[in-house]
């Protein structure tokens, strides 16, 4: 933007309210959620009814979620963390097995692998923050059982490339490694015109408070088109019970009566009732987020040295976070200085989401000793994420962009 306009905007003196870089509530609630919650509570008070343990609300929520994504099935669970654990359990991993996970990540996907006997193999990422197909291919071995990739910050990973790579590297016993998506941050995003959550063996979503929608703070969902996998997931989610009424909805197929180990990872009735309302409102919550991000890209496009998010017909992100990369020569120190200036002088909070997992988590480092992902390290040192929220006003968005532009100019002097 031109200098005069920038001065005018900065002359407003600050943001209209405090915006944490990663807001604690990713969407917003209306009276409809409260009504749904109260209704579910009231209807549960009869001793003959109670809250569960499997109920219409959960069945309906799962069906609505599957319809929204465009998959045959959706299975709710307590969080994306437990969803990722269930996904890894469904792989039946042993000590000889390897699972590839991208280095720029939240700890959820790598931790899920570390919860098994398998080896965690980290792969490098490109400037989209997503797993770099070339490095995914380089990390494939005859021991690779799965690629558990993350759709970082609301942008799809390169699903078709990963699927092709998996086909080229079949495991001698199990065939092509399974391709599993962690879409905790990417609910509603699209890849090649289809919703994230389709195409992979399974995809895991988070309904945590910070995410695109939330079931009262915690929650998760897994989508798949594989009926056999769905049976296994159901068993894992609820005490090995694959032969239950809800199963009929999955497929009409009867379980064998020996569906293996399971525990209890179920969502509650009240959460599902609220989830149905949030899901109906999901697109309404995503649209302003996307509009704000696109406007931000327009406003920042002329700022020298910045790499801004990918957004085109092939990749339609939902902007859980808005990724900005500073120029490579600013990696580290100057990026840190830019973040400090933004905070101190403009009241603009930023976060780095996320650096390579092994740089911030010593448990993970111990289990991946000797593994390095140089591109991810460089990108992690160039990355910053300013606040993004669907309720942010156009004025606050402009202010934030003006602040970034001016602060970049100051760091560059």
Ligand X SMILES: Cc1ncc(COP(=O)(O)O)c(C=O)c1O
Q: Which is nearer to ligand X, 322 or 399 (CB)?
A: 322
Q: Is 108 in the site for ligand X (CB under 6 A)?
A: yes
Residue pair 76/266 in contact by the 8 Å Cβ criterion: yes
User: Cβ-count burial of 75 within 10 angstroms (0-12 exposed, 13-18 middle, 19+ buried)?
Assistant: buried
Q: Which is nearer to ligand X, 185 or 382 (CB)?
A: 185
CB of 81 to ligand X, least distance (A): 3
Q: Is 106 in the site for ligand X (CB under 6 A)?
A: yes
Radius of gyration, CA atoms only, the chain? 22
202: helix, strand or coil: strand
Q: Is 220 in the site for ligand X (CB under 6 A)?
A: yes
Distance, in Å, from the CA atom of 134 to the CA atom of 131, rounded to the nearest integer, reads: 9
- Which segment (105-113, 172-180, 231-239, 253-261) binds ligand X by CB under 6 A? 105-113
Q: Is 268 in the site for ligand X (CB under 6 A)?
A: no
CB of 26 to ligand X, least distance (A): 10
Phi/psi-derived region of residue 199, left when phi > 0, alpha when psi is between -120 and 50, beta in every other case: left
- Which segment (139-147, 180-188, 285-293, 392-400) binds ligand X by CB under 6 A? 180-188
Q: Is 206 in the site for ligand X (CB under 6 A)?
A: yes
Q: Is 238 in the site for ligand X (CB under 6 A)?
A: no
Q: Is 81 in the site for ligand X (CB under 6 A)?
A: yes
Distance, in Å, from the CA atom of 413 to the CA atom of 409, rounded to the nearest integer, reads: 6
CB of 399 to ligand X, least distance (A): 27
Q: How many CB atoms lie within 10 A of CB 270?
A: 21
Tokens (6 digits) for 396: 């606050």
Q: Is 355 in the site for ligand X (CB under 6 A)?
A: no
Q: Is 85 in the site for ligand X (CB under 6 A)?
A: no
Distance, in Å, from the CA atom of 139 to the CA atom of 375, rounded to the nearest integer, reads: 15
Residue pair 309/292 in contact by the 8 Å Cβ criterion: no
Number of residues that bind ligand X (CB under 6 A): 13
Distance, in Å, from the CA atom of 40 to the CA atom of 55, rounded to the nearest integer, reads: 11
What is the DSSP code (8-state) at residue 76?
E
Q: Is 237 in the site for ligand X (CB under 6 A)?
A: no
Q: Is 196 in the site for ligand X (CB under 6 A)?
A: no
Contacting ligand X within 61-80 (CB under 6 A)? 79-80
Q: Which is nearer to ligand X, 106 or 191 (CB)?
A: 106
Q: Is 262 in the site for ligand X (CB under 6 A)?
A: no
Q: Are strands 220-224 and 178-182 parallel, antiparallel or unpaired?
A: unpaired
- Interface residues with ligand X (CB under 6 A) are 79-81, 106, 108-109, 150, 182, 184-185, 206, 208, 220
């Amino acid at each position: 933007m031109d200098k005069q306009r920038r001065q005018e905007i900065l002359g407003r003196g600050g943001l209209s309210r405090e915006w944490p870089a990663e807001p604690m509530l990713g969407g917003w609630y209306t009276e409809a959620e409260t009504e749904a919650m109260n209704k579910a509570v009231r209807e549960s008070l009869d001793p003959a009814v109670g809250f569960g343990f499997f109920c219409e609300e959960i069945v309906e929520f799962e069906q609505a979620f599957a319809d929204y994504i465009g998959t045959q099935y959706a299975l709710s669970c307590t969080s994306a963390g437990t969803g990722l654990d269930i996904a890894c359990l469904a792989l039946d991993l042993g000590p000889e097995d390897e699972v590839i996970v991208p280095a720029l990540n939240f700890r959820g996907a790598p931790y899920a692998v570390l919860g098994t006997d398998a080896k965690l193999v980290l792969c490098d990422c490109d400037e989209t923050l997503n797993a770099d197909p070339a490095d995914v291919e380089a990390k494939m071995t005859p021991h690779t059982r799965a690629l558990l990739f993350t759709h970082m910050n609301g942008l799809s990973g390169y699903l078709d490339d990963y699927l092709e790579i998996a086909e080229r590297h079949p495991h001698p016993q199990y065939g092509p490694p399974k391709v599993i998506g962690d879409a905790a941050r990417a609910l509603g995003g699209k890849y090649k015109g289809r919703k994230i959550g389709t195409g992979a063996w399974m995809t895991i979503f988070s309904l945590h408070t910070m995410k695109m929608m939330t079931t009262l703070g915690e929650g998760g969902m897994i989508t798949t088109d594989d009926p056999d996998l769905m049976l296994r997931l159901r068993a894992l989610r609820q005490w090995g019970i694959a032969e239950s009424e809800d199963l009929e909805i999955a497929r009409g197929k009867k379980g064998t009566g020996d569906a293996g180990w399971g525990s209890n990872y179920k969502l509650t009735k009240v959460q599902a009732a609220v989830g149905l309302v949030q899901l109906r409102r999901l697109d309404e919550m995503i649209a302003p987020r996307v509009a704000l991000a696109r406007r931000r890209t327009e406003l920042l496009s002329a700022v020298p040295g910045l790499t801004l998010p990918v957004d085109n017909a092939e990749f339609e992100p939902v902007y859980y976070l808005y990724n900005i990369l500073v120029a490579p020569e600013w990696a580290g120190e100057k990026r840190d200085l830019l973040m400090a200036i933004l905070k101190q002088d403009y009241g603009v909070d930023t976060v780095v989401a996320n650096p390579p997992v092994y740089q911030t988590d010593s448990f993970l480092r111990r289990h991946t000793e000797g593994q390095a992902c140089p591109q991810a390290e460089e990108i992690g040192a160039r990355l910053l994420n300013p606040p993004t929220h669907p309720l942010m006003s156009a004025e606050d968005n402009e202010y934030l962009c003006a602040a970034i532009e001016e602060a970049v100019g100051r760091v560059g002097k």
